[in-house]
Amino acid sequence: MKIKASFVTNSSSTSYCIYGVEVNDGDDAYYKIIECVDKNNKDCDEECEVMDFLDEFLEHKDVVVYGNDYGTWHIGIAIGTIQEIFADIKVKDIPKEVAKKINDIFGLSLSEKDISIIEESYYS
């Protein structure tokens, strides 16, 4: 049997399971992420597609971001990637390591209590 470890998508739906955090428009974390986008993408203007930039920016950082049209983002590490990058870490310590990784990238101050398993699917 073949198992897809990161996210699953087809023409009409997307599903994912990550260790991460939900960030909503208006949260302090949301504005810090926008700051990060502005600082790291000099070509970003009013028409900049933030999600496209974040996808590219995070491509080699093991962190993924999923968003919707309602100002909610899920930022974290795919379950399959967790197994690869934290192979020697106890399961109970994974949230702390995920928070540290997200904090390092975006300058946030998340704790392990902010991190949870997020499962989502949506239709396009």
Tens of pLDDT, residue by residue over 72-81, are 899 999 998 9
Tens digits of residue pLDDT in 101-110: 999 999 999 9
Contact 75, 64 (CB under 8 A): yes
- DSSP labels, 35-72: HHHHHH-TT--TT--HHHHHHHHTTTTT-EEEE-TTSE
Q: Which residues are within 8 A (CB) of 65 and not within 5 positions of it... i.e. 6 or more apart?
A: 51, 54, 55, 58, 73, 74, 75
Q: Which amino acid is at 92?
A: K
For the chain, what are the domain ranges? 7-123
Dist CA 78 CA 63 (whole Å): 8
* Residue 3 in this model has a pLDDT that exceeds 50: no
pLDDT at 116 over 60: yes
Check if the beta carbon of residue 82 is closer than 8 Å to that of residue 19.
Answer: yes
